[in-house]
Amino acid sequence: MIESIITNIDAEISRLNQAKALLSGVEPKRKLGRPAKAVSLEISKKPKRRTISPEVREKMRQAQIKRWAAAKKSQPARLKDAVVVTPKAKKTAAKSKS
């Protein structure tokens, strides 16, 4: 809130300085470097997120379960029967000093 008021005041000061320079016949000094971003007076708001009804959410869930089942069914037989190998646990015994 306060930041938007300050930016509005800065924009007004800039416009008044330009008007003063035009009336006095002296061109305003330009700052070196890249010009500042344009100040928008509107406060940007995030768009509202749409909500999904529980019925539609359940329908999406069921469709995903069907896709998973189809993908599982189409897997080659060698992948279905594959044995999962877990890595062996490391020995934690301390090394003997020599």
Residues 10-27 have pLDDT tens digits of: 999 988 988 888 888 766
Q: How far apart are CA 18 and CA 28, in angstroms?
A: 7
Contacts of 39 (CB under 8 A, 6+ apart): 7, 10, 11
Would you list the domain boundaries of the chain? 1-28
Q: Which comes out higher in pLDDT, residue 94 or 32?
A: 32
Residue 51 has pLDDT above 80, yes or no: yes
